[in-house]
């Protein structure tokens, strides 16, 4: 069969089948890319600055619609309420987030057992590689802007040690600080006192790096119809090669059948030596004729 496949016409057919299969594979990749596209964000207003007190209320569930919202708030820090959260990356390097408690001015006050006189929110103020580079929060009235993010989950069965937290978890931090809190935290963008920049990055002189937390990418959705088309094009690519193989196989079988027919025809056409087609032996006929011609009895 290899000899049949190496015929010029089947080599040309193979090149054509491979070209067709390549086109089908490219179409499959295109359909696969279209099957996993990002969803269009439901809201495009997250970059518009909103007051924290208008975007979220303490004691309420943190809705996904307010995640990544840029917010502003006025209030003050308590220098005694600050922790470091380890295992945070900045340009590939591991370090710590500086997280401080921020008392929000004009925020609703929660009531009930254990509620504090003010409502607070954790603020991630910057990143440091060395805990010694962490700076205390600024004093006085602060104008805070940043990105509102949902609370993280604490790490179970983990003792972070004094002045540390396992995550930016409201559930963990309210127990450490003994305060009432919003159900999320803020990644600080700027901290100003009057016209002065009092953020951790500004006052540390290079020891603290900004967080630069951007909006989360939109969720991926799977378009099953495009995914089906992608698989379908792969099947077509394989089928093009199968058609070539089947045509070569049929040509090979026809060659075998033709060779067998020729062999059978040759076998049927062979005769014994001295016996021509359709008659008695030539020598017998000739002798009889001669005998009839020369025998005197026959002549009389």
Same domain as 71, residue 13: no
Q: What pLDDT is stored for residue 182 in this prediction?
A: 97
Same domain as 197, residue 133: yes
Least confident segment among 10-19, 48-57, 61-70, 100-109? 10-19
Q: What pLDDT is stored for residue 129 in this prediction?
A: 95
Q: Quick one: CA dihedral 219, 224, 227, 229, positive or negative?
A: negative
Number of separate domains in the chain: 2
Least confident segment among 114-128, 181-195, 228-242, 265-279? 265-279
Same domain as 196, residue 131: yes
Distance CA 150, CA 70 (A): 13
Same domain as 227, residue 208: no
Same domain as 260, residue 150: no
Same domain as 178, residue 58: yes
Report if residue 275 sits inside a domain.
Answer: no
Is there a contact between 122 and 168 (Cβ–Cβ < 8 Å)? yes
Same domain as 190, residue 84: yes
Q: What pLDDT is stored for residue 97 in this prediction?
A: 97
Least confident segment among 34-43, 51-60, 102-111, 227-236? 34-43
Q: What pLDDT is stored for residue 288 in this prediction?
A: 46
Q: What pLDDT is stored for residue 222 in this prediction?
A: 75
Report if residue 143 sits inside a domain.
Answer: yes
Same domain as 199, residue 80: yes
Closest CA to 60 of 234, 233, 180: 180
Report if residue 290 sits inside a domain.
Answer: no
Same domain as 113, residue 6: no
Report if residue 271 sits inside a domain.
Answer: no
The mean per-residue pLDDT over the stretch 29-41 comes to 71
- C-alpha distances in angstroms, 117 versus 2, 103, 169, 215, 283? 89, 10, 21, 32, 140
Q: What is the domain range of residue 236?
A: 2-35+223-265
Q: What pLDDT is stored for residue 286 in this prediction?
A: 47
Same domain as 198, residue 156: yes
Same domain as 186, residue 144: yes
Least confident segment among 184-198, 204-218, 270-284? 270-284
Report if residue 280 sits inside a domain.
Answer: no
Same domain as 230, residue 210: no
Domain boundary (188, 217, 246) is at: 217
Percentage of residues in the chain having pLDDT higher than 90: 46
pLDDT digits (tens, 9 = 90+) for 44-92: 678 899 999 999 999 899 998 899 999 999 999 999 999 999 999 998 9
The mean per-residue pLDDT over the stretch 88-100 comes to 95
**Is the model more confident about 151 or about 276?**
151
Least confident segment among 119-123, 241-245, 277-281? 277-281
Residue 42 pLDDT greater than 50, yes or no: no
Residue 160 pLDDT greater than 70, yes or no: yes
Q: What pLDDT is stored for residue 245 in this prediction?
A: 87
Report if residue 157 sits inside a domain.
Answer: yes
Domain boundary (199, 217, 235) is at: 217
């Amino acid at each position: 069969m290899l000899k049949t496949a190496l015929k010029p016409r089947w080599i040309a057919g193979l090149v054509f089948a491979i070209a067709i299969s390549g086109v089908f594979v490219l179409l499959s990749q295109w359909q696969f890319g279209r099957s996993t596209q990002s969803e269009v964000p439901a809201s495009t207003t997250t970059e518009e600055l909103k007051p924290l007190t208008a975007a979220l209320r303490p004691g309420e569930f943190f809705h996904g619609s307010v995640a990544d919202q840029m917010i502003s708030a006025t209030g003050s820090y308590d220098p005694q309420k600050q922790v470091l959260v380890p295992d945070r990356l900045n340009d590939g390097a591991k370090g710590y987030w500086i997280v401080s408690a921020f008392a929000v001015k004009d925020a609703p006050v929660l009531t009930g057992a254990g509620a504090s006189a003010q409502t607070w929110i954790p603020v991630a103020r910057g990143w440091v590689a060395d805990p010694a580079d962490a700076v205390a929060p600024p004093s006085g009235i602060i104008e805070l802007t940043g990105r509102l993010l949902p609370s993280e989950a604490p790490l179970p069965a983990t003792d972070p040690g004094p002045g540390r937290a396992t995550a930016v978890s409201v559930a963990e931090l309210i127990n450490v600080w003994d305060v009432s809190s919003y159900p999320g935290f803020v990644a600080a963008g700027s901290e100003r006192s009057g016209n002065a920049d009092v953020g951790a990055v500004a006052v540390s002189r290079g020891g603290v790096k900004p967080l630069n937390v951007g909006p989360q990418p939109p969720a991926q959705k799977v378009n099953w119809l495009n995914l089906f088309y992608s698989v379908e094009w792969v099947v077509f690519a394989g089928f093009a090669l199968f058609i070539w193989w089947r045509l070569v196989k049929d040509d090979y079988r026809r060659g075998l059948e033709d060779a067998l027919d020729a062999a059978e025809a040759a076998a049927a056409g062979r005769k014994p030596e001295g016996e021509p087609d359709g008659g008695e032996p030539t020598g017998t006929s000739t002798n009889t004729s001669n005998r009839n011609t020369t025998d005197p009895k026959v002549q009389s």
